[in-house]
Structure 1
Amino acid sequence: MPDTNAVPTPDLATTRASRPAWWRGLLHEPLVHFMALGGLLFAASAVLAPAQDTSRVIAVTPAVRAEITALYAGTHGRPPNEAELAPLIENWVRTQILYREALALGLDKGDEMIRERITHKMNLLVFSSLRVPVPTDDELRAYLEANRAAYDQPARYDFLGLLVEPGLTREQAEAQAQALSDEENDPPADLVGRVRAYANRDRAGIAALFGTAFADTLAGMAQDTWRAVPINPSAGAEWLVTRVARMHPPRAADFDTIKPNLVDPWQTAAARALAQKAVADMGARYTILNGPAP
């Protein structure tokens, strides 16, 4: 028998084409992702909480905590610490709120599937009701200032590097640096042939190659001076004889230039905040009993 109370589902291609960019951005947001874990939690918590419990009390009991902990441990191979457990419990409470609100709207009528589907319907209602405004220039400027790290260009370096053979001492590595620095004599051909150029690398990229300590040292080096610097052994050696050829200074992002690129992330953040507030407003009608850890 068809479900006469189900939320109508538009054509998939039409739906995808009509969704605004901020909606697509929400697909990567934690508020949406919690539904994946929420489905597992609801399947497991069907025994812990009666399916038709319409009370305004949501109890985070030791049994609920234990079930959340067990699900996390099954995925990660260890139980969550307190910092990891807190958002999982918060997501469980949010899912309970959405589920009970869905029941209040009758979204469960004629639908015998697990709670995940019912909660998913409520989630769709929350997101479809959002009215995300068009940001003003002042709002976009404020967003840029709060997220400078994502848009500013960091300092970049052109440098040369010679991987010192594994097992050589500091003194031997420094001797190779001295040989490459010798302005009166040509450096040994075997050393010159092993020198590699690294162009336009930022600190994060350098750290990924040779370690954070090396990246910090390189940033403070004078240009055109060979130096033996310790590196992360995972790079295949313990020392890199290096010389900074050029430092490209950092550049702050220009608002007028990147303004078109700020609208979608601003609206995604605004939609996330509105959705969180909508769930919080629903939650204000409930009493949350956060029981002790088992």
Structure 2
Amino acid sequence: MFRKLTREPLIHFLGGALLVFGFFWATGTNRDPADYAINVGDSDIARLKATWVQNFRRAPTQDELDSLIDQEIAEEIYYREALRLGLDKNDPVIRRRLYTKMRFIDGEETANADPSDAVLQEWMDKYPNKYALKPLYDFTQIYLGQIDSADAKKRIDQMNAGIDPAKFAQSISLPATLTQASSSEISRPFGDRFAGQIEALKPGAWRGPITSGFGVHAVKLTGITPGKKAALNDVRQQVVNDWRADGQAAQKEKALSDYRAQYEITVAGRP
């Protein structure tokens, strides 16, 4: 019976088909060749070299470059195999990373835009207070230490009466004078509270006590440069940054709206 079956043409055909199927399964020749082609081109090699130079401040040796290329190939192989296994699915880290990259792409057009002076001036005119130049202050300060206000006031009166201020000065690593300083520049060494009190002073005599986180000070304001409306060249980079940030936000929201319009979305508990 077995010998009779082996003589049947149909059995020969099925056996041959199984052999062919096994060959293709084993060799993978039924795969899409393009999906298994990895090409490390000149631009890829230039990128690898540039990254190496940025990290090590020198060009890679040939062995180091070969190692970088092998690592690039290994990463690409594992990346593709991970996608084939679906490892990108239901992974919150990958999901967040892809979300971030898509948001970056959606705002890239505005991020790389080079607005004209007319566009920037229109933006400035829309927010005049934001780009006004702040007042600048010239002053000298004496650190009186951590004393009460009455004692500090007494010393300040004596300084205005002609007593040498050095007699009352306590040692501290703070600038004794600042010139053409904005409120934010004053805040950095002395704190916001001190800067706010400077803004209320009038030039001339020693004033105070002016308090900071260190204690109390006597301050003589010697000059004020009033604030004024800024010219574009005074604040160009700030205006460009703000214009781009606003444009990117609008571009991203439009892209998201366009994407959402293509989806049928249901949320439990929402009508």
Shorter-chain TM range is 0.5 to 0.7
Q: Structure 1 length as normaliser, TM-score?
A: 0.51
Partner of 2:121: 141
Partner of 2:73: none
From 132, 143, 155, give the equivalent of 1:176.
Answer: 155
136-145 or 222-231, which moves further after superposition?
A: 136-145
**C-alpha deviations, 1:219-277, integer Å up to 9, x for none?**
12221111222413x22x1x211110111222332125655774465334323321222
CA distance in 1 between partners of 2:239 and 2:187 (Å):
28
Partner of 1:287: 265
Q: Structure 2 length as normaliser, TM-score?
A: 0.54
Question: CA separation of 1:128/1:208 partners in 2, compared to 1, >3 Å: closer, same or farther?
Answer: closer
Q: CA RMSD in A?
A: 4.2
Whether the 8 Å contact between 1:160 and 1:197 is mirrored in structure 2 is: yes
Whether the 8 Å contact between 2:139 and 2:178 is mirrored in structure 1 is: yes
Unpaired stretches in structure 2, ≥5 consecutive residues: 1-30, 51-82
CA distance in 1 between partners of 2:223 and 2:266 (Å):
59
Partner of 1:61: none
SS at match of 2:205: coil
Partner of 1:253: 230
Partner of 1:91: none
Give the alignment of 1:90-129 within 5 angstroms: 111-113=86-88, 114-117=91-94, 120-121=97-98, 124=101, 127-128=104-105
- AA in 1 matched with 2:156: A
Partner of 2:180: 200
Relative contact order, higher structure (CA 8 A, sep 6+): 1
Q: How far 1:119 moved relative to its partner?
A: 5.6
**C-alpha deviations, 1:70-91, integer Å up to 9, x for none?**
xxxxxxxxxxxxxxxxxxxxxx
CA distance in 2 between partners of 1:256 and 1:188 (Å):
41
CA distance in 1 between partners of 2:34 and 2:243 (Å):
38
From 216, 219, 223, give the equivalent of 2:203.
Answer: 223
- AA in 2 matched with 1:278: A
Q: How far 1:156 moved relative to its partner?
A: 1.3
Q: How far 1:216 moved relative to its partner?
A: 2.8
Identity rate, percent? 17
CA distance in 1 between partners of 2:238 and 2:149 (Å):
48
* Larger radius of gyration between Structure 1 and Structure 2: 2
Question: CA separation of 1:173/1:286 partners in 2, compared to 1, >3 Å: closer, same or farther?
Answer: farther
Question: CA separation of 1:253/1:118 partners in 2, compared to 1, >3 Å: closer, same or farther?
Answer: same
